[in-house]
A and B are shown apart, each in its own frame.
Chain A
Amino acid sequence: MKKFIFFDSKSKRGFRFWMTRMGLAISLVLVAYAVFFSVESAYLVSEKMTGRIWSVPSRVYASSRVLFPGLRYSKEDLIGELEWVGYVQSREAVPGFGEWKKDGPYLLIGIRSFSTSSQDLEARKVRIEFSGNHIERIWQRDGDQWKIVHTLSLEPELIGEIFRDEREQRTLIRLDEAPKTLKEAIILMEDRGFYDHWGVSLRGIGRALLANFQGRGIRQGGSTLTQQLMKNFFLTHERTLQRKAREAIMAIVAEILFTKDQIFEAYLNEIYLGQQGPVGIHGFGEAARFYFSKELKQLSLGEQAMLVGLISSPGRYSPYRSLESATERRNLVLSVLYKGEKIQEKDFEIAKREALHPRGKIRILRKAPHFIAYLQKELEKRYEKDFLESSGFQILTTLDMEFQRAAEASVEEVLPKLDERSKKRVTGERKLEVALISVDPHSGAVKAYVGGRDFSNSQFDRVHRAQRQPGSSIKPIVAAIAMSNETRLGEPVAHPATVLSDQPAEFSYSGRDWSPKNYGDVYTGQITLRGALEKSQNVAFVNLASQIGLKELQKGFYHFGFQDVPEFPSIALGAFGVTPFELARVYTAFPNGGLQTECYAISGVLSEKKERKEQTSMAVRKVTSAQIAYVVTQLMKGVVERGTARKIQGMLKGQDFAGKTGTSDDYRDSWFVGYSANLLTVVWLGYDDDTPMGLTGASGALEVWANFYQRILERLPREAFAEPKGVEWRKIDPEKGCLKRGLFGFEEVFIQGTEVPPCR
């Protein structure tokens, strides 16, 4: 039997034999590990680079403003708007894209390409001529000539982004979209042998080792572009040999699986180039927007060089941190380009002399926060959350940022004053809350949206979610229902001159008694429907409701689009919950000739490739006749001219307004719904916990509404409410509600054919 000798110390051959075997075994393990790691890397790299490589947040935009000759819009207004979008003043004779320049009566603008819900608009140069506060003419550059155009859409303002947790911002570009000089500069600065090596450059490593040895520490990486990309994709930023080894293997695998161009394109989109608050700026497309407010292809040579200079240390060379360091670094990149014979001496000199003008940093990333949160919730009903946060959607909204800023400023200015007034009646430290929604009544497009006073304090969206009692702001709908419904004789239950009883009374319903009261316990005895609405007399409206019939009234409310209406007589005084959004939608029927418009905030959703995932436009539903809508509007005009909202009459000269105040029981809710021919706004005020605040609709919500309209008055077209066919004006006695003969009397509007008794 052969004797097994494990280790014979006396035999030199035996020792060598076993050492060789052990070495082989270790090598095999290492090779196996390398194979396993290479296969794993191949899988990871392949999955990363062939699938969806980046998480691109969805961006939310305000509406695109349409300019046209004759529009009241001054040069300064437009410059202000452009600056919000991120455009900068040009220092050249002809502004580049993303720039503007004053030129006598003209404003020259280089408009960048963008998309609306209906169009993809190319970048273009325009010239706008102003005359005083009006736009006189608009030209668009067409080849060598200026061509007059009738309308001009402006690039919309970015108002928010929907991020994943890692909060990376990027604008994806294709390799062919990157300027040649930018690509050359990157290669010269970061990896000269990029097109020759297999992912790892021994020469680069040697150079780095030497530099690190001389500097006694790790100072230079020696990583190729492919290694940098792999590090950014998969690895940490720690400087260890193990990490470097993994990085190298992954780089080799990437080079085997993908072409140089694919790797370079990925690098251009992945590389970290700066920070905006909590959000990382990744890739050159995004960096061009972030630092210069331009598209990558529009950057000057100097600007390209500055961006390339950021790669090694975006913090240190950021122009926002030090213009001097950024310029020095840029010049280094330019000299490398020049020495590498990639640019001419003349271009080198010009670019070196070019002063760096980074645009001002965008102040806030999240504007209209309640609005964005509302959109996010809506969109999450249709798209998966993760998809929404990472697929680079463009969410196009209807929000008018000028109106939105005005609304926010009004809330900020008025609410502290109202807090003071309310404090006299409320104990403890409390702050009033607010909801404001402004819509175009003809299209239903939401123009301004304030869901609360301070988003950082409370994310509760009162526009959509606060179910509050509308109080008297419901009365115009009661009036409209009364005009639509008929008595047994086939006549409408009411018209503006219908006389209603207005004295203390007790009403019974289901065995219960109820005694509604007027504000301030003031009763007129008898009052016309117009008078009752203008003065907001409760008892007269309860009497009107009893003439309609409770069932019919409830049916009428449902027909107008309210969701949950109980069967109590007090619904005539708004004793049921509605949201400000709901009330806005219901009211659109009045300025819109009886057609109710569905209020919408998202006009379109575009994919990253600009495919239209959805498009929303106006939707209408007839809820009452054009004649009734007009008559009710005229009654509400009286509220503003003579009634409970008369204090705004002096403030808003030159415009037709109609509206209605609302106050719920014990002053828990303060409402005002008011509109011009083209803009309807609902304001609600109150405490979230329903504590009485001591403010009426007129002393609370109306103040916010009036402040808001004063700010935007210039923007509203001066138009009267459109009178439909089938109405007539007649002279009446406003106290008795009878027809008067002769020249004197109150001009009242009626639906044609309405029987009104003559005065005796």
Chain B
Amino acid sequence: MSIKSFLPVFLFFGFFVSTGCVKRVVTEPAPEFSFEDARVERSNPRYVASLNLVEDALKEMKLQRLGRAASQLSQAIEIDPSNPYAYFYLAEVRKRSKRYQESIELYRRAEDRFAANSQWSAECFAEIGDVYRLQNQNLEAEEAYRDALELNPRNHRAIEGLAGLPANP
């Protein structure tokens, strides 16, 4: 049998590999805050009031009014310091304001508060990875992305982040 007769098989295999069908990782989009979902987690009045302020802050963030959003998130933290969403979005505000070190600390605090919610915890680590990457701290970024993937192997941000890092950081 000549090698030419295997050509269709080679071609098919090549196509199979190139389209990533051998092992395709299905990624998850970043979790989104929902007041109704979050209040199901806990019904403590302080927590609900604090979530309400987070919801208001998100509207301000969409309008790029970061100062107002930060004020509301600070107030949300005052009302309930155990509210992880308040820390998470304040970290995002700080990231957008280029206050990177503070952003990392706040993401870490959020991660600590999310505890049982691996999807959000992973998102915190992935965000930390992004913040490190913004500062060209690629080793730290890689570590954070890997922490994220350990908690949620489908975390889109961490997968993308890792792929985007230079080969030998």
Contact = CB atoms under 8 A, between A and B. Distances in A.
A722 B77 CA distance: 14
Given A593-B109, A621-B102, A678-B81, A69 B72 contact: no
B28 interface: no
Contact of B105 (A68, A443, A603, A622): A622
B102 A620 contact: yes
B49 A118 contact: no
A68 B45 contact: yes
Interface in A677-700: 677-678
Contacts of A722: 81-82
A717 interface: yes
A279 interface: no
Given A593-B109, A722-B82, A725-B112, A617 B70 contact: yes
Contact of A603 (B69, B71, B102, B115): B71
A617 B112 contact: no
B77 A615 contact: no
B90 interface: yes
A566 interface: no
Interface string B98-109: 010110011001
Chain A: interface secondary structure? loop
Q: Which of B74, B90, B109 has most chain A Cβ within 10 Å? A: B74
B46 A68 contact: yes
A68 B52 CA distance: 10
Contacts, number: 96
B102 A619 contact: yes
B53 A151 contact: yes
Interface string A573-607: 00000000000000000001101000000011000
Nearest to B106: A620
Q: How extensive is the interface on chain A, given as a class?
A: 35 or more
Nearest to B69: A118
B90 A69 contact: no
Given A150-B48, A615-B67, A595 B105 contact: yes
B131 to A, nearest CB: 14
Interface residues of B, number: 34
A721 B108 CA distance: 18
A70 B109 CA distance: 26
B49 to A, nearest CB: 3
Contacts of B70: 615, 617-618
B160 interface: no
Nearest to A724: B112
Contacts of A445: 74, 78
A151 B49 CA distance: 6
Interface string B47-86: 0110111001100100000011111111101110110000
Interface centre among A443, A603, A616, A678 (most CB of B within 10 A): A443
Given A618-B74, A717-B46, A442 B67 contact: no
A71 interface: yes
A118 B72 contact: yes
A117 B68 contact: yes
A442 B70 CA distance: 14
Contacts of A677: 81
Contact of B77 (A151, A612, A618): A618
A150 B51 CA distance: 9
Nearest to A117: B71
A724 B82 CA distance: 12
A214 interface: no
Given A443-B77, A595-B105, A678-B81, A68 B68 contact: no
Given A150-B52, A603-B71, A70 B78 contact: no
Nearest to A447: B78
Given A622-B105, A717-B46, A443 B72 contact: no
Contacts of A616: 71
A488 B90 CA distance: 39
A116 interface: yes
Interface in A387-440: 440
B82 to A, nearest CB: 7
A189 B51 CA distance: 55
A595 B106 CA distance: 9
Contact of A612 (B49, B67, B101): B67
A731 B45 CA distance: 36
Contact of A69 (B45, B53, B106, B109): B45
Nearest to A116: B71
Given A117-B71, A442-B81, A443-B77, A595 B45 contact: no
A118 B68 contact: yes
A673 interface: no
Contacts of B78: 440, 442-443, 445
Nearest to A69: B45
Nearest to A441: B81
B112 to A, nearest CB: 6
A66 interface: yes
A119 interface: yes
A615 B52 contact: no
Nearest to A615: B67
Interface in A96-153: 116-119, 150-151
Interface in B14-51: 44-46, 48-49, 51
Contacts of A620: 102, 105-106
A118 B77 contact: no
A725 B114 CA distance: 12
Contacts of B72: 118-119
A620 B73 CA distance: 13
A560 to B, nearest CB: 16
Contacts of B77: 442-443, 618
Contacts of B68: 117-119, 612, 615
B125 to A, nearest CB: 14
Contact of B49 (A68, A595, A622, A678): A68
A118 B60 contact: yes
Interface string A277-297: 000000000000000000000
A217 B129 CA distance: 86
A724 B79 CA distance: 20
16 contacts: A68-B46, A69-B49, A70-B48, A70-B49, A117-B68, A118-B56, A118-B75, A150-B52, A440-B78, A445-B78, A592-B81, A616-B71, A618-B74, A620-B102, A622-B105, A725-B115
Given A66-B49, A593-B109, 11 more contacts: A68-B45, A70-B44, A71-B45, A117-B68, A118-B69, A151-B49, A442-B81, A595-B105, A604-B71, A617-B73, A717-B46
The 3 closest A-B pairs by CB, nearest first: A70-B45, A68-B49, A615-B67
Interface of B: 44-46, 48-49, 51-53, 56-57, 60, 67-75, 77-79, 81-82, 90, 99, 101-102, 105-106, 109, 112, 115
